[in-house]
Structure 1
Amino acid sequence: MLTWLILLAVLLIVLRFRFPYFLKDLQYAIQLCRVGYRLAKYAQSKPYFTILDRFLETVSRHPQKTFISFKDEIFSYQETDRQSNRIARALREHAGVRQGDTVALLLGNEPVFLWTWLGLAKLGCSAALLNYNLRSRSLLHCFSCCGAKLLVAAAELRGAVEEVLPALTEQGVTVFLLAEECDTVGMETLSDKIRLASDAPLPFDLRANVTFTSPAVFIYTSGTTGLPKAAVVSHQRLWGMSSVQSSAGVCSDDVVYVNLPLYHTAGFALGFTGAIERGASIALRNKFSASQFWDDCRKYNVTVMQYIGETMRYLCNTPKSPADQVHNVRIAFGNGLRGDVWRDFLERFGHVEIRELYASTEGNMHFINYTGQIGAVGRINALHKRMFPFAVIQYDLEKEEPVRNAEGLCIEAPRGETGLMVALITQKAPFSGYARDLQQTERKKLRDVLQRGDVYFNSGDLLRVDQHNFLYFQDRVGDTFRWKGENVATNEVSDILSMMSSITEANVYGVRVPGQEGRVGMAAVTLQKGEAFDGISVFTHVCTYLPAYARPRFIRVQSALEVTGTFKQMKVQLVQEGFSPDAVRDPLHFLDEREKRYSPLTMETHAAILRGAVKL
């Protein structure tokens, strides 16, 4: 017996040093199999077992368990079930909502958002989640994408709806306001009708025709590269998204802090329905607040937090406190965490298991960094690749298309080299596309990739796989650009600029210059409060840390950078405005090689650049 124990110990030591990630790879593979088994079982069930059914299962088993904590209110699974029943009955009786309909929601982060979606699911309907920050034409565009004939809006958003009400009325759209009273012609109240509705369970027949391919929700892309598109999230796809919490190690005893917008995937699917999948509890906040974040975590006994974009950096920038490590958060999952912020966060706030993700709303693949490797967005697991085939292929940045061989097939990028991430579209990993937009849907498909006739989802993202099977996000196609025959990764340049103590944020992009090949680098930056732009120190910094071709030739100083609801930087408008002092009202500077500084960009200098008198 002793001999066997010694051999086992030796084997574990050998595995630890020869294959340092073996145990974590094995643990993740087992978790992946469990998730795959559950999803396969749900897909084969008659009738189809949806996220709603999982919710009702928990209501039956643990009716008094806390589901939502919001401000100073607590709602159990049972109370949430009853509230959603009232909403479903009110919509069915007074709005005529029936199975197969789509209802647009213009609501903020509050419990009624969650109750309304559950109520619609009980009627066999889908919901289009509108960004409550949108106004006028942008709001109308998003509404028109989903084909809804009914809009449910929050009372505080009445003004935004009134702006577009004539157009909605013309389209035959019914508008319900979550209020007791409303004197606007063309709007009806809903809160009063909900209050009078029965909270008795609804018959299953009302949603009997829902299948795994039925749309559960329409979630809009962030619009960083143009107008938002309504991604069709089927019930099957929603299950996949909701299972991310399971992959990250979340269990039913956890309290998940949801402070990101519910109209986006992170808040809705990874947070809300992910908690339903786990049978966990939610601490809901109407808006992310860096200053209140840890107080909320202590107040609600949060054990799992979400992050996205720059939220972790915002937390690290708050004033230090003796209570920084006084919390029960054990897991943080999300995406977009820079390596330097990752280290700062762990050092300041204590040991938290960071689970960085790579995924997209409409995509058919996701990766998770289950090892905690700083900077990586995921790890390639042999089982994962077998279940959901993908590839990182060579991409020509100048032609903006994949590199193909003599046979017309794509070429996989060697280890260590940046390439385009694509994933095979299969029954297990479908791509549902965008609502009422066949052209954009087709553009995301890449054909004849590794074999004739295959079809892959084109992520539009450039990633790199290292020698240890870790995945690193490099940039988005269209963000990375070529200058002086070299590829410039905007993320890398942004990180370098943000290292300066005077610069708060940097958004890097490429702009066209007449007579020049490729695109020249430009950065929009914001400064720390009380700081002035120091052209000499910025020049010295970029020359120290960046090669000549990657140094931004133009810098635009802004009071604030425009971001999406999930803190993704907006580039489209910046690219269009370029570097002309006529088009840009913000202070502009150019990299002045003669003076060894960034000098103010005047109309005379701009004209000299256009005629080639100033070398870039």
Structure 2
Amino acid sequence: MIVWLLTTFSAGLLAIFLYQWTTHPFFWVDLRNYLKLRSFKKEMQTRMRKGIVTYLDTFLYQARITPDKPFIIYESQSLTYQDVDKRSNQFAKVFRSAGSLKMGDVVALLMCNHPDFICVWFGLCKLGCEVAFLNFNIKASSLLSCLQSCGAKSLVVGADLVASLDKVLPTLKASDISLWTVDHSAPCDGFNSLLDKLDKVSEEPLPDPPKVNIMSNFLFIFTSGTTGHSKAARLGHLKAIMSMAFLRFCGVTSDDIVYITLPLYHMSASLLGVGGCIQLGATCVLKKKFSASQFWKDCVKYDVTVFQYIGELCRYLVNHAWVTEEGAHRVRLAAGSGLRPDVWREFARRFGNIKIREGYGLTEASVGFLNYTDEIGPIGRASYFNKLSMPFELLKYDPKTYGPIRDGSGRCIKAPKGEAGMLVAPLTVTSQFLGYAGNKTQTESKVLRDVVRPGDVYFNTGDLLLCDHRDFLYFCDRIGDTFRWKGENVATTEVSEVLGSLDFLQEVNVYGVTVPGYEGRVGMAAIILKPDHKLDGAEIYKQLVGRLPSYAWPWFLRIQTCPEMTETFKQQKGKLVHEGFNPAVVKEPLYFMSLSQKDYISLSQSLYDDIISGKILL
């Protein structure tokens, strides 16, 4: 009798539990996504048993089964999967014969979006080289720092970017770095040309392709840090092949034509975008540079059905004047990250029935989310099923130290629902963090130990996320001194270093401030002049333009007489960020960067109002 009662009671509890669970409004969509993920993992395991274990293997597989399928469309060019395979074979043979490149060599790639970016990259992969993608906006000392950190001994430069190396060419030559240009002739002594040598080698595959360890490093992708120049993040083969599934989970198929305007040096374009097309066998329309005025025209011209975005891209489209083509396209889906809810709503209202698939991911680690629902705003879900496949925690953090808050036993404290917490994810054999090349300190700073239980190891993303009571996840902000503007991460210390070299500045404190209508935070600098010196806005302008990419320029200056410091003598940013650049709030002199005057001009209340209202654009 007692056994019967206990059994009946247990069954009743289970029935209530299952009823409440399965009637949850997102239960079935969560389950469907989980089953899709399980199915993909099984397919991956089957492919791996057949020897398809890397990003390159996946491409070669597609080139075998769909050789004549258009892979890359660029302006008037159309290259099939077989075309890219053969051309990359030629690049590989030139690099091996003329450059003696071999497995394990690190080669830096400085190129704009172009089919040959992919062909050169794949050619180097076929030799077993580790490729480092360089941001083509970087200048002088930053470029040298990138090469040094990843250990590159060869640099491949697009023909249109050779001139950007003028200032550092003597240093590159003195450092014994092999210089290659994707052109038919060398622009000057010290360069090797590539294109003139392709016709002299065959298109056949290499007779002895290298064997790659899937757990080893594949790429170096540079991410902005909080302590200086960009960090060379090691990105493994396993991470790369997992990234290729992004478009598939967004709902893209092999029949889609995917429009990619993001720079290929970003993981988003190279691994998620191009890699996603490869994984599916889809076609990629590659654009050299995003153009709001040309966007919808290209979508109609190339019959685009899917495009990849960052939040700023969508904002540009929403703010652009109406064009005929925006009502005549066949785009059905947009996949990306960083889309603000207000822009999201306006985008949906204006451009028709386009599904938005907003996600979140990191270059360094494997944690990532995808909002596969139609809910506007979230980056993903923290459902039971999702945490089975992608474990993570949101932790309480100290806003002064940026570290997690621990309890009396030394364990980290989880942030409750509805409160922003620091996103961390466990590190395992299949969820790797290979660290930053040449920077052990920065590598160790991203690792947390004894988080949930003694001996565990987690990756600290440095991002604040919020989980609401419906299990939706929202991105809140970045912890520390890095802010995001124009789709790029800006390291405040690098900007401070550039400004600090001016002889009339005594103290420089760089931070990001919000501007209504813009995604991210725009740069601002609180500066202290040296005694008996005056502000030279034109010289600051010249220094910034000459040494930093445009997204890193501080648009606002605040002149202080004494620095804002914390009790531990660190630069105070919180109060400065909160006060922003409003003359009605800030009683110290404020200045605004004028591109037309190539100088910093006094920021009056009327000028401030014009910036806030959008009459003056940043």
Contact 2:225 2:482 in 1 (8 A): no
Picking from 399, 402, 406, the partner of 1:400 is 402
The CA deviation at 1:381 is 3.0
The CA deviation at 1:556 is 5.2
The CA deviation at 1:39 is 3.9
SS at match of 2:326: coil
Question: Within 5 Å, which residues of 2 pair with 1:457-476?
Answer: 457-476=459-478
The CA deviation at 1:137 is 0.7
Whichever residue aligns with residue 161 of structure 1, its letter is L
Whichever residue aligns with residue 207 of structure 1, its letter is P
Question: Within 5 Å, which residues of 2 pair with 1:446-595?
Answer: 446-478=448-480, 494=514, 497-499=515-517, 507=522, 513-514=563-564, 519-522=574-577, 557-559=592-594, 585-588=600-603
The CA deviation at 1:447 is 0.9
The CA deviation at 1:17 is 10
Output the CA distance in 2 between the equivalents of 1:464 and 1:183. 52
- Cα 1:223–1:439 change in 2 (3 A) is closer
What is the aligned partner in structure 1 of residue 60 from structure 2? 56
Give me the TM-score of the superposition, normalised by structure 1: 0.78
Picking from 28, 33, 57, the partner of 1:28 is 33
- Cα 1:553–1:328 change in 2 (3 A) is farther
What is the aligned partner in structure 1 of residue 175 from structure 2? 171
The CA deviation at 1:508 is 7.3
- Cα 1:347–1:479 change in 2 (3 A) is farther
- Cα 1:385–1:367 change in 2 (3 A) is same
The CA deviation at 1:280 is 0.8
Contact 2:52 2:61 in 1 (8 A): no
| Cα deviation 1:133-176 (Å, max 9, x = unaligned) | 22211111111121121111111222223422222222221111
SS at match of 2:180: strand
Output the CA distance in 1 between the equivalents of 2:453 and 2:379. 27
Contact 1:42 1:48 in 2 (8 A): yes
What is the aligned partner in structure 2 of residue 601 from structure 1? none
What is the aligned partner in structure 1 of residue 136 from structure 2? 132
Contact 2:31 2:385 in 1 (8 A): no
What is the aligned partner in structure 1 of residue 348 from structure 2? 346
What is the aligned partner in structure 2 of residue 184 from structure 1? 188
Whichever residue aligns with residue 115 of structure 2, its letter is P
| Cα deviation 1:38-63 (Å, max 9, x = unaligned) | 444456x4756212222122212111
Contact 1:98 1:123 in 2 (8 A): yes
What is the aligned partner in structure 2 of residue 102 from structure 1? 106
Picking from 291, 294, 297, the partner of 1:295 is 297
* Aligned: 1:439 with 2:494: no
The CA deviation at 1:36 is 2.5
The CA deviation at 1:555 is 6.5
Whichever residue aligns with residue 411 of structure 1, its letter is I
Contact 1:521 1:552 in 2 (8 A): no
| Cα deviation 1:343-378 (Å, max 9, x = unaligned) | 000000011111111111112200011102111111
SS at match of 2:475: strand
Picking from 142, 148, 151, the partner of 1:144 is 148
* Aligned: 1:258 with 2:260: yes
| Cα deviation 1:281-321 (Å, max 9, x = unaligned) | 10000001111011111111111111114111000011023
| Cα deviation 1:156-215 (Å, max 9, x = unaligned) | 222223422222222221111122222522111111112322111223x3212x011222
| Cα deviation 1:230-251 (Å, max 9, x = unaligned) | 1111110101111111111111
| Cα deviation 1:252-299 (Å, max 9, x = unaligned) | 111111111101111111111121111111000000111101111111
Output the CA distance in 1 between the equivalents of 2:33 and 2:318. 30
Picking from 271, 292, 298, the partner of 1:269 is 271
Whichever residue aligns with residue 26 of structure 1, its letter is L
What is the aligned partner in structure 2 of residue 161 from structure 1? 165
Contact 2:102 2:128 in 1 (8 A): yes
* Aligned: 1:207 with 2:210: yes
SS at match of 1:371: coil
* Aligned: 1:283 with 2:279: no
The CA deviation at 1:64 is 1.0
Contact 2:103 2:128 in 1 (8 A): yes
What is the aligned partner in structure 1 of residue 72 from structure 2? 68
Output the CA distance in 2 between the equivalents of 1:319 and 1:160. 33
Output the CA distance in 2 between the equivalents of 1:515 and 1:159. 42
Picking from 98, 112, 116, the partner of 1:112 is 116
Whichever residue aligns with residue 385 of structure 2, its letter is L
Whichever residue aligns with residue 516 of structure 2, its letter is S
The CA deviation at 1:132 is 1.4
Contact 2:310 2:337 in 1 (8 A): yes
Output the CA distance in 1 between the equivalents of 2:196 and 2:226. 39
- Cα 1:417–1:256 change in 2 (3 A) is same
Contact 2:311 2:519 in 1 (8 A): no
Whichever residue aligns with residue 74 of structure 1, its letter is S
SS at match of 1:395: coil
Aligned-pair identity (%): 40
Whichever residue aligns with residue 369 of structure 1, its letter is N
- Cα 1:359–1:193 change in 2 (3 A) is same
Output the CA distance in 2 between the equivalents of 1:479 and 1:439. 16
Picking from 420, 425, 429, the partner of 1:418 is 420
Output the CA distance in 1 between the equivalents of 2:87 and 2:521. 44
Contact 2:394 2:424 in 1 (8 A): yes
Output the CA distance in 1 between the equivalents of 2:273 and 2:519. 28
Whichever residue aligns with residue 464 of structure 1, its letter is L
Question: Within 5 Å, which residues of 2 pair with 1:377-388?
Answer: 377-388=379-390
Q: Number of aligned pairs?
A: 522
Output the CA distance in 2 between the equivalents of 1:510 and 1:459. 26
SS at match of 2:414: coil
Contact 1:83 1:115 in 2 (8 A): yes
Whichever residue aligns with residue 277 of structure 1, its letter is Q
Output the CA distance in 2 between the equivalents of 1:92 and 1:188. 13
Contact 1:180 1:189 in 2 (8 A): yes
Give me the TM-score of the superposition, normalised by structure 2: 0.78
- Cα 1:42–1:224 change in 2 (3 A) is farther
* Aligned: 1:427 with 2:429: yes
Output the CA distance in 2 between the equivalents of 1:323 and 1:41. 43
Output the CA distance in 1 between the equivalents of 2:417 and 2:520. 31
| Cα deviation 1:386-406 (Å, max 9, x = unaligned) | 233210000110232111000
Contact 1:525 1:557 in 2 (8 A): no
What is the aligned partner in structure 1 of residue 218 from structure 2? 216
Contact 1:523 1:552 in 2 (8 A): no
Output the CA distance in 1 between the equivalents of 2:147 and 2:523. 31
Output the CA distance in 1 between the equivalents of 2:390 and 2:21. 28
- Cα 1:504–1:268 change in 2 (3 A) is closer
Contact 1:520 1:552 in 2 (8 A): no
Question: Within 5 Å, which residues of 2 pair with 1:222-241?
Answer: 222-223=224-225, 226-241=228-243
